[in-house]
């Protein structure tokens, strides 16, 4: 329950005013309900002719009320109502009186139903609003978290949290919210009514109810634990689907369909088994509360009936029936309340999972007092050490890149080249040492300013399901169509863009799947050209391409690199030869550096890489 209140305090405050209205309407509904039930007493009196007292109108005076307010007010009201009814009976007969009572009941019920509806009505914006806010904060958090977070938390699992867990919260917690505010109000008002009628009887009832409540509570506890495990399995399942979708080509090529299928079906079966157990437990709440409710009624019936039969009862039979009706009306809200408690347990499990994202520490952060950063002189790596987890990936990197120069990084796959360049835009932070731009540590600058300094072209062009135009203008908010076209021309992309159906407005499909590798790459180069950053990071930008598109892309790249400070990880000798300095990376260290001829002359790592044509 504590967790639940914490969630409410976190997410509900913006919707406070709806909550106030909700409480008002719920109170109204409960009171109206109580007053419509009260008609059962005169109706029974009429039908069974049980009460032969001749009631007289009594004036409402303060002296009468003051001593025992509720009791005397209730008595006065009852007296005058009965006097009115007696009058009706005497002048129009019993049948007409029943009609009048019926009309009264209909009227009351109408207002009660309206109040109940408005109570729900005011709850809807809260429910949808909270869910929207949670989704927004997850999404915001995802963009804030450093890349490191996502190598540990698999994408499919995160997807499962955004979809499954948020839905679970909507379905279990938020749908319970109205019950949670409505039912305690109903119960309190009904209880008040019961106490007014007979406190002795109510005292007896109050001993019974918590007993029933305790039994129900026990079942809820295990439900939460199981639900947590269930959502976890669901996340794993979604990860597999994500992996299968991404790797479909390889799965087919290696005839691994059967293997993948078996793996999925195994997880799916485990999920089903756990879900079985969850549902079974969940379904227990209904019959159990039904049973406990009826048992309680039976006990009250026995106790109250005995009181009436004993002849010195504080209430008469019709009032006892009214009492039972109210009590019966308490059972339902109490049942709903316990049901809400169940589903809240389920929802809390989802909230825990979502919180693992929301509370994850953002490791790459803006500094407290950010300093301005510009690239006028140089980028320097000072004795940089880095590890993702336990193993050192970069070991004491020293690198000096003067403005306008090009540095080429070569080395076997896995030697740490990509890692080295990922540190510059602070995708990860150095573990030891520092990186400075014009003497400013990059951790002392605003991340936004730092990344504004550089453009990125990677081996895999990352495009979005959008038009050519939007993909090229991705990093620039106010690009004119002329500028976009200009960038596309320089990137050798203009021709194939205008050859497409809607020109620049053509949608390129999911991740640009309608384009060839070379076309995708030229779009991402155009994007970098438009951004026009002083520094450039090219990570194997041409290695995934065939010779023909490679030529076009290389041209585009040469255009892009002109007059820019560039770190290039390349597999093409020509790119490497033109670099101002070549650094050979081997197991996280720069083992050789210099120009092409110098390095060849060393007859070491570089010579071997060149001979094998493997950069």
Ligand X SMILES: Nc1ncnc2c1ncn2[C@@H]1O[C@H](COP(=O)(O)OP(=O)(O)O)[C@@H](O)[C@H]1O
Hey, which residues between 464 and 483 contact ligand X (CB under 6 A)?
Answer: none
Closest separation in Å from C-beta 544 to ligand X: 14
d(CA 469, CA 503): 9
- In 415-554, the DSSP E strands lie at 432-437, 440-441, 454-457, 535-539
Q: Which one of 286, 413, 480, 532 is in contact with ligand X (CB under 6 A)?
A: 413
User: Which of these segments, 112-120, 406-414, 523-531, 555-563, binds ligand X (CB under 6 A)?
Assistant: 406-414
Q: Which does 86 bind (CB under 5 to 8 A by kind): ligand X, Mg ion, none?
A: none
549 near 518, Cβ under 8 Å?
yes
Q: Which one of 122, 350, 415, 566 is in contact with ligand X (CB under 6 A)?
A: 415
d(CA 229, CA 226): 5
User: Which of these segments, 73-81, 350-358, 416-424, 546-554, binds ligand X (CB under 6 A)?
Assistant: 416-424
Closest separation in Å from C-beta 584 to ligand X: 11
State which residue, 419 or 456, has the beta carbon closest to ligand X.
419
Closest separation in Å from C-beta 366 to ligand X: 22
Q: Is 293 in the site for ligand X (CB under 6 A)?
A: no
Closest separation in Å from C-beta 416 to ligand X: 4
Q: Which one of 14, 102, 414, 509 is in contact with ligand X (CB under 6 A)?
A: 414
State which residue, 70 or 388, has the beta carbon closest to ligand X.
388
- Classify strands 392-402 and 378-387 as parallel, antiparallel or unpaired: antiparallel
The three-state secondary structure class of 108 is helix
Q: Is 393 in the site for ligand X (CB under 6 A)?
A: yes
Sheet containing strand 432-437, edge to edge, reads 392-402, 378-387, 432-437, 440-441
Residues 366-405, mask of contacts with Mg ion (x by CB under 5 A): ----------------------------------------
Q: Which does 416 bind (CB under 5 to 8 A by kind): ligand X, Mg ion, none?
A: ligand X
d(CA 350, CA 553): 47
Residues 226-265, mask of contacts with ligand X (x by CB under 6 A): ----------------------------------------
Distance of alpha carbon 505 from its chain centroid, rounded?
A: 33
- Long-range pairs for 96-101 at CB < 8 Å and ≥24 separation? 97/46, 98/43, 98/46, 101/39, 101/42, 101/43, 101/46
State which residue, 112 or 571, has the beta carbon closest to Mg ion.
571
Closest separation in Å from C-beta 365 to ligand X: 19
State which residue, 307 or 538, has the beta carbon closest to Mg ion.
538
State which residue, 178 or 539, has the beta carbon closest to Mg ion.
539
Which residue has the closest beta carbon to Mg ion?
A: 418
How many residues of this chain interact with Mg ion, rule: CB under 5 A?
1
User: Which of these segments, 34-42, 61-69, 336-344, 413-421, binds Mg ion (CB under 5 A)?
Assistant: 413-421
Q: Is 418 in the site for ligand X (CB under 6 A)?
A: yes
Which candidate, 395, 190, 199, places its Cα nearest to that of 315?
199
Can you give 528-559 as a three-state secondary structure string? HHHHCCCEEEEECCCCCCCHHHHHHHHHHHHH
Q: What is the token pair recorded at 184?
A: 């305690």
Q: Which does 151 bind (CB under 5 to 8 A by kind): Mg ion, ligand X, none?
A: ligand X
Can you give 45-103 as a three-state secondary structure string? HHHHCCCCCCCCCCCCCHHHHHCCHHHHHHHHHHHHHHHHHHHHHHHHCHHHHHHHHHH
The three-state secondary structure class of 213 is helix
Which candidate, 281, 288, 286, places its Cα nearest to that of 223?
281
Hey, which residues between 99 and 158 contact ligand X (CB under 6 A)?
Answer: 151
State which residue, 379 or 584, has the beta carbon closest to ligand X.
584
Q: Is 456 in the site for ligand X (CB under 6 A)?
A: no
d(CA 44, CA 308): 16
Which candidate, 528, 536, 552, 519, places its Cα nearest to that of 479?
528
361 near 406, Cβ under 8 Å?
no
Q: Is 418 in the site for Mg ion (CB under 5 A)?
A: yes
User: Can you say whether residue 370 is alpha, beta or left, with left for phi > 0 and alpha for psi between -120 and 50 degrees?
Assistant: beta
User: Which of these segments, 134-142, 410-418, 445-453, 602-610, binds Mg ion (CB under 5 A)?
Assistant: 410-418
State which residue, 109 or 413, has the beta carbon closest to ligand X.
413
- Please report where in the chains the tokens 């093409």 appear, as a residue: 572
Hey, which residues between 352 and 391 contact ligand X (CB under 6 A)?
Answer: 388
Closest separation in Å from C-beta 389 to ligand X: 6
Q: Is 419 in the site for Mg ion (CB under 5 A)?
A: no
433 near 396, Cβ under 8 Å?
yes
Closest separation in Å from C-beta 394 to Mg ion: 13
State which residue, 411 or 425, has the beta carbon closest to ligand X.
411
Secondary structure element (H or E) that encloses residue 593, with its range: strand 589-594
Let me know if 26 is exposed, middle or buried by CB neighbors in 10 A (0-12, 13-18, 19+). buried
How many residues of this chain interact with ligand X, rule: CB under 6 A?
11
Q: Is 417 in the site for ligand X (CB under 6 A)?
A: yes
Rg (CA), the chain: 38
Closest separation in Å from C-beta 424 to ligand X: 13
535 near 565, Cβ under 8 Å?
yes
The three-state secondary structure class of 411 is strand
Can you give the binding site for ligand X, defined by CB under 6 A?
A: 151, 388, 393, 411, 413-419
Can you give the binding site for Mg ion, defined by CB under 5 A?
A: 418
């Amino acid at each position: 329950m504590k967790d639940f209140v914490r969630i409410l305090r976190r997410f509900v405050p913006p919707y406070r005013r709806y909550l106030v209205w909700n409480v008002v309407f719920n109170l109204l509904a409960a009171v109206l309900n109580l007053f419509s039930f009260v008609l059962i007493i005169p109706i029974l009196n009429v039908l069974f002719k049980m009460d032969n007292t001749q009631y007289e109108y009594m004036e409402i005076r303060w002296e009468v009320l003051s001593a025992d307010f509720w009791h005397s007010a209730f008595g006065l009201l009852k007296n005058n109502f009965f006097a009115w009814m007696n009058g009706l009976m005497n002048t129009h007969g019993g049948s007409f009186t029943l009609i009048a009572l019926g009309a009264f009941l209909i009227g009351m019920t109408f207002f009660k139903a309206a109040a109940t509806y408005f109570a729900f009505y005011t709850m809807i914006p809260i429910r949808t609003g909270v869910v929207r806010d949670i989704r927004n904060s997850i999404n915001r958090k995802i963009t804030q978290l450093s890349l490191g977070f996502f190598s540990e938390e698999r994408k499919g699992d995160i997807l499962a949290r955004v979809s499954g867990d948020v839905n679970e919260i909507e379905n279990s917690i938020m749908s319970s919210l109205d019950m949670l505010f409505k039912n305690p109000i109903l119960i309190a008002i009904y209880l008040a009514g019961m106490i007014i009628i007979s406190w002795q009887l109510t005292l007896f009832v109050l001993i019974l109810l918590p007993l029933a409540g305790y039994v129900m509570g026990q079942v809820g506890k295990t439900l939460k634990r199981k639900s947590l495990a269930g959502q976890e399995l669901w996340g794993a399942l979604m990860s597999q689907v994500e992996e299968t979708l991404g790797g479909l080509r390889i799965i087919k090529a290696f005839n691994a369909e059967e293997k993948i299928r078996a793996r999925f079906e195994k997880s799916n079966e485990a999920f089903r088994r756990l879900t079985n157990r969850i549902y079974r437990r969940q379904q227990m709440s209904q019959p159990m509360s039904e049973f406990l409710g009826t048992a309680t009624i039976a006990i009250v019936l026995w106790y109250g009936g005995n009181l009436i039969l004993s002849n010195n009862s504080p209430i008469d039979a019709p009032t006892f029936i009214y009492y039972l009706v109210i009590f019966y009306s308490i059972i339902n809200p109490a049942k709903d309340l316990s049901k809400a408690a169940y589903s809240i347990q389920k929802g809390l499990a989802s909230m825990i999972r979502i919180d693992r994202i929301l509370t994850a520490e953002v490791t790459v952060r803006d500094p407290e007092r950010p300093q301005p950063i510009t690239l006028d002189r140089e980028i320097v790596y000072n004795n940089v050490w880095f590890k993702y987890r336990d193993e050192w990936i970069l070991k004491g990197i020293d690198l000096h890149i003067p403005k306008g120069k090009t540095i080429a990084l070569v080395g076997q796959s896995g030697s740490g080249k990509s890692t080295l360049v990922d540190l510059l835009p602070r995708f990860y932070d150095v573990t030891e040492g520092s990186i400075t731009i014009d003497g400013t540590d990059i951790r002392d600058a605003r991340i936004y300013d730092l990344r504004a300094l550089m453009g990125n072209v990677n081996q895999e062009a990352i495009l979005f399901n959008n038009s050519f135009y939007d993909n090229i203008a991705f990093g620039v908010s106010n690009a004119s169509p002329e500028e976009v076209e200009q960038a596309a021309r320089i990137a050798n992309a203009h021709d194939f863009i205008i050859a497409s159906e809607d020109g620049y407005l053509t949608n390129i499909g999911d991740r640009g799947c309608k384009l060839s590798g070379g076309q995708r790459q030229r779009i991402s180069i155009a994007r970098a050209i438009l951004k026009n950053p002083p520094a450039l990071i090219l990570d194997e930008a041409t290695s995934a391409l065939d010779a023909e598109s490679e030529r076009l892309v290389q041209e585009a790249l040469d255009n892009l690199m002109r007059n820019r400070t560039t770190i290039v990880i390349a597999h093409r000798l020509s790119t490497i030869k033109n670099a101002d300095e070549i650094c050979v990376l081997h197991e996280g260290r720069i083992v050789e550096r210099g120009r092409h001829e110098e390095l060849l002359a060393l007859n070491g790592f570089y010579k071997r890489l060149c001979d094998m044509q493997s950069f």
